[in-house]
Amino acid sequence: MSLQVNRNQTKRPNLKYTLEFKQDAAKLVKRLMVTALKWIAL
C-alpha cells in the first residue's frame, strides 16, 4: 500500500479500501504464521 492511498483513506474513509486492507492484513498474518511454523519445524 502506498502512502498516498493511506492519506486518502484517512481523509475519506472508504469501506472498500478498509475491507481490502483487512484482507491483505489477514493474508500477511497467515503468511507469517506459516513461515513461523516452518522455522519451528526446522
Which residue range forms the structural domain that includes residue 21?
3-41
pLDDT of residue 39: 93
- pLDDT mean over 5-30: 77
What's the domain count of the chain? 1
Q: The whole model's pTM is what?
A: 0.49
DSSP labels for 1-42? --HHHHHHHHHS--HHHHHHHHHHHHHHHHHHHHHHHHHHH-
In whole angstroms, give the CA distance from residue 33 to residue 26.
11
The answer on pLDDT for 32 being more than 90 is yes
